[in-house]
Amino acid sequence: MRGVRGQAIAFICSPAGVVQEVLLDELGVTPRLPSSRLFASLFEPEYAEVVKNFLLRVVDSNSLSEEEFQVLLPTGPTPLYCSAHASARGIIVLGGTKPLTRAAAIRRLRALLRRSRGRVADSAAGQAERLARAAHDLRNPIAGILAASQYLLDDPPAPRSEEHVMLLESIQASSRFLLQLVDDVLGVSTLDAGGAHPRREATDIQALLRQNLAINQFLAVRKGIRLRVTTDENPPAVTVNAARVSEVIDNLVGNAIKFSPDGGTIAIHLGRRDGMASLTVRDEGSGIPASEIQTVFEPFRKGSGQRNLSAWGTGLGLAIVKRIVESSGGKVEIESEVGRGSTFTVLLPIAGPETAPRRRSARQGFSI
């Protein structure tokens, strides 16, 4: 390769090809990334397999990997010479319209990564730490208010009027909401501050799903909602942190119940897709407008139809889902249509046969 510098793009992505941070975009192509933020979407469809193999090669190698693609620019298809290396934060990719020598590519990748680390230390990580401290300070007094209101409702010291009961119930509901908000803020802050890489091991995701549904079915029964669950004959085990992924399942199933109409059905499917384990949750709710799909995973983003905070939640659940899934080497997708409901799909890395846990049984499907 010759050391000629042209226009360049650089980003950090997960092993599945999900762009997590844009470091440089002199080509102006990243605004075209869809909600899935897949690196491969910048190229013609026939490059999907090439991109996948390129990223696998990067993960398996301790050295710089190189590949040439055709990127779609306003001036037409243009060669993009890509160099990539695995780092502690993910795969860092540098692509340019002119080729670089390996030495020059390594120098520029290192410079971009150092600059990115500095920005994170000065902005995101610092903000996350300050936010976590504030949330932690708020948690105890809110929990105290909640406990006091519960005591007054359960064991009143004197006869109460209907108005007093309504006020206490309002205090209790507001305290619960605030406590959930604080816990969610702490969760996002922990992930943003670098706590997104807990120990991962082979996990039976079917067992995690069953455990979650055993809890959430009570919420579904209150609304007359049926949870219809199907699985592939042999759903794969996944390499994840079980506690984190359990939180992902709880967020997706809980949201589906929350936004589904009374008497509706939530369809949940566990299987595999694109060489990864897939979990799909489909509800029959009001759906999400196309204009909001791009921002639905951002913290504190809520639907435009939201009218009631206690009914719609804190606006952090999906942000937590996205961070956990991507830090696990997976990706999360959404399809939605106003008036028809939403479908969330989580893809997670499959455990190798040597580490996959044994299951007691496998069934084609089950319902609750």
pLDDT (tens digit, 9 = 90+) per residue, 42-54?
A: 887 777 888 888 8
Q: Report whether pLDDT(2) > 50.
A: no
Kindly report, residue by residue over 113-163, the tens digit of the pLDDT.
Answer: 777 665 555 555 555 555 655 665 566 667 677 777 777 777 766 666 777
Span of 144-153, 194-203, 329-338 with lowest mean pLDDT: 194-203
Domain 8-122, CATH class in plain words: alpha beta
The arithmetic mean of pLDDT across residues 92-105, rounded, is 85
Which is nearest to 174 in space by CA: 301, 311, 310?
A: 310
Q: Indicate the range of 186-190, 215-219, 227-231 predicted with least confidence.
A: 186-190
Predicted confidence (pLDDT) at residue 313 exceeds the cutoff of 90: no
Give me the pLDDT at residue 266, please: 95
CB atoms near residue 332 (< 10 Å): 23
What pLDDT, on a 0 to 100 scale, did the predictor assign at position 282? 95
CATH ID of 198-367, from 3.50.50.60, 1.10.8.50, 3.30.565.10, 3.40.50.300: 3.30.565.10
The rounded distance, in Å, linking the Cα atoms of 306 and 295 is 15
Q: Kindly state the tokens that stand for 311.
A: 């009914």
| Positive/negative CA dihedral, 351, 69, 1, 31 | negative
User: Model confidence at 190, in pLDDT bands (50, 70, 90)?
Assistant: low
Q: How many CA atoms lie within 13 A of 257 on its CB side?
A: 21
* pLDDT category of residue 65 using cuts at 50, 70 and 90: confident
Ranges 3-7, 104-108, 141-145, 292-296, most confident: 104-108
Q: How far is CA 249 from the centre of its chain?
A: 11
In the predicted model, is pLDDT for residue 57 greater than 80? yes
User: Three-class SS of residue 221?
Assistant: helix
Helix, coil or strand: residue 50: helix
Structure tokens at 89: 């934060």
**CB distance 243 to 328 below 8 Å:** no
The mean pLDDT value of the chain amounts to: 76
Q: How far apart are CA 160 and CA 229, in angstroms?
A: 46
How many other C-beta atoms are found inside a 10 Å radius of the C-beta of residue 274?
11
Q: What is the DSSP string of 119-174?
A: HHHHTHHHHHHHHHHHHHHHHHHHHHHHHHHHHHHHS-SS---HHHHHHHHHHHHH
Mean pLDDT, rounded, for 241-255: 85
Smallest Cα–Cα separation from 201: which of 243, 250, 252?
Answer: 243
Q: Which residue has the higher pLDDT, 231 or 108?
A: 231
Q: Are strands 265-273 and 226-231 parallel, antiparallel or unpaired?
A: parallel
Q: What is the pLDDT, as a whole number, of residue 303? A: 54
b/e map of 109-139 (b: 16 or more CB within 10 Å)? Answer: beebbeebeeebeeeebeebeebbeebeebe
In contact, 110 and 87? CB cutoff 8 Å: no
User: CA 150, 156, 161 angle in degrees (round to 5)?
Assistant: 105
**Once rounded to an integer, what is the mean pLDDT over residues 86-94?**
80
Cross-strand bridge partners of residue 239: 202
- The DSSP output letter for 272 is E
What token pair was written down for 35? 């909600």
Contact status, residue 95 vs residue 71, Cβ threshold 8 Å: yes
Rounded CA-CA distance 1/113 in Å is 22
Q: Do 15 and 33 contact (CB within 8 A), yes or no?
A: no
pLDDT over 50 at 217, yes or no: yes
Q: What angle do CA 329, 330, 332 make, to 5 degrees?
A: 150
Question: Rounded to an integer, what distance in angstroms lies between the CA atom of residue 217 and that of residue 220?
Answer: 5
Instruction: Give the residue extent of every domain in the chain.
Output: 8-122, 127-195, 198-367
